[in-house]
Amino acid sequence: MRLQIDTKADALYLRLDDSDIVESREVAPGVVLDFNQANEVVGVEMLHLSTRSPGLDTSALQFETV
């Protein structure tokens, strides 16, 4: 799993595995899901991150396992 934040593009991308992406769908404004051949979600992109989370400090992201 990889999390990428592109401050220039104002976007966050979460990649769940390394399988090939065969389709992408915008499921809500600025939210794109990437699907593999088995129709499983393998990536999530959120655009306009700064307006979705004003004041977000990306250097302070917390990872939690439950």
Domain residue ranges of the chain, discontinuous segments joined by +: 2-54
On whether the CB atoms of residues 16 and 43 are closer than 8 A, the answer is: yes
Question: Any idea which residue has 């934040």 for tokens?
Answer: 5
Which helix H or strand E contains 2, and what residues bound it? strand 2-6
How is residue 33 written in tokens? 């899901």
pLDDT at 7: 85
- Specify the pLDDT at position 63: 75
For residue range 4-60, what is the model confidence (pLDDT) as tens digits? 988 899 899 999 999 999 999 999 999 999 999 999 999 999 999 888 878 777 777
> What's the mean pLDDT in 56-65?
74
